[in-house]
Amino acid sequence: MALLEGKVAIVTGGGRGIGRAHALALAAEGATVVVNDLGEAEFGGEGQSNSGPADEVAQAIVAAGGRAVADTTDISDWDGAGAVVRAALESFGRLDIVVNNAAISRFGPIDVISRLDWERTIAVNLTGTAALSHWAAAHWRETGPEPGRRIVNTSSAVGLIPWPGNPMYTASKAGVAALTISCALDLAELGVRVNALAPAARTRVSATVAPDLMKPVEEGFDRMAPENVAAVATYLASPLCPYTGRVFGILGDDLTVFDGWTVSRHLNNAERRWTPQDLQAALADVPLQQEVTAQAIPGVEAAASPPKEVLEALAALEKA
């Protein structure tokens, strides 16, 4: 029997890129899919929207013998996300899997971005994920505990080990990782496992960020194919996955298990409030860089955070 036979899934941003691959992969494993996509013309979320991408994917699933409907709701709208859950229930009578994949990406350091950039990025990437999780979980709470429910969120390696240049995206994806863990704790009693992906694949987003990765593959394994990410999403959505509250990185065949914030040191001040001078002395042997113990992003060397160039630039300025 197919892995997801009888399951009903919602995939947000399912009309393009990684979400499209998710929708097709879940359907290939027997799931019925609500393909949600606003059809944003630009990945920065500034273009016109249209129903083309969601329609195309839903039609492809139906043409292959599966069941799917297209949905063009903007998932950043809290009540709109509720309408997507209702669409699944009205069309197919149940809901088992939510794949929160839709996101936008805008760039620029914190002093350059606008309030609108900030609000829209957080609205789509973080509020959209929270809103759909809210409505799905509210439905599941109403119907009572049942095994086999899944939420698959989409974080990013840069949300866990931040890079410069896109603070809104980075913060939104760090929020998604934290939301994943928190929801996993709350929803276990309803039979819901909640995990997140930190994907990388060839899409219109990576075309802008890393054009080198967009080079077509002439032969052999296509590392940048979105289908590589969809395979891991399928696992996380399936009964084969025993995890909850975890984040998995995937690029090609490189799988990364992120462990989130960990505590490296505990210092106690013998029942005295810390003074700045106490802290300076006590922290003297705490390294200025946090070590990243494994290669977090394939192709990018494991590095300490913040990188030594950042510390050197500050030190040079302070000496001048």
Q: Which is nearer to ligand NAD, 2 or 217 (CB)?
A: 217
Catalytic site residue 169?
yes
- Interface with ligand NAD, residue 128, by CB under 6 A: yes
Cβ 102 vs Cβ 75: under 8 Å: yes
Q: Which of 105, 155, 172, 173 is catalytic?
A: 173
Q: How far is the CB of 90 from ligand NAD (least distance, A)?
A: 19
Mask 26-65, x = binds ligand NAD (CB under 6 A)?
Answer: ----------xxxxx--x-x-------x------------
Q: Is 7 a residue that touches ligand NAD (CB under 6 A)?
A: no
Catalytic: which of 156, 172, 206, 238?
A: 156
Considering the complex, what minimum distance in angstroms separates the CB of residue 37 from ligand NAD?
Answer: 5
Say how many CA atoms lie within 13 Å of 268 toward its Cβ.
2
Q: Which residue has the tokens 């009903």?
A: 8
Write the CB contacts of 253 (distance below 8 Å, at least 6 apart in sequence): 221, 223, 228
Q: Which two tokens stand for residue 168?
A: 């809104």
133, 169, 206, 235: which is the annotated catalytic residue? 169
Among 28, 81, 36, 40, which Cα is nearest to 58's?
A: 36
Should residue 254 be labelled a site residue for ligand NAD when binding is judged by CB under 6 A?
A: no
Tell me the per-residue interface mask from 182 to 221 with ligand NAD, x by CB under 6 A, - otherwise.
-----------------xxx-xxxx---------------
Binding of ligand NAD at residue 156 (CB under 6 A)? yes
Residue 156 a catalytic site member: yes
251 DSSP β-pair partners:
200, 254
Residue 129 touching ligand NAD (CB under 6 A): no
The DSSP H or E segment spanning 141 is helix 128-143
For ligand NAD, the binding residue among 76, 133, 228, 256 (CB under 6 A) is 76
Q: Which residues contact 240 (CB under 8 A, 6 or more apart)?
A: 3
Q: How far apart are CA 80 and CA 76, in angstroms?
A: 8
Rounded to whole angstroms, what are the CA distances from 31 to 23, 62, 72?
A: 9, 12, 20
Q: Which residues are catalytic?
A: 156, 169, 173
Question: Which residues of the shown chain bind ligand NAD in the complex (CB under 6 A)?
Answer: 12-13, 15-19, 36-40, 43, 45, 53, 74-76, 101-104, 124, 128, 154, 156, 199-201, 203-206
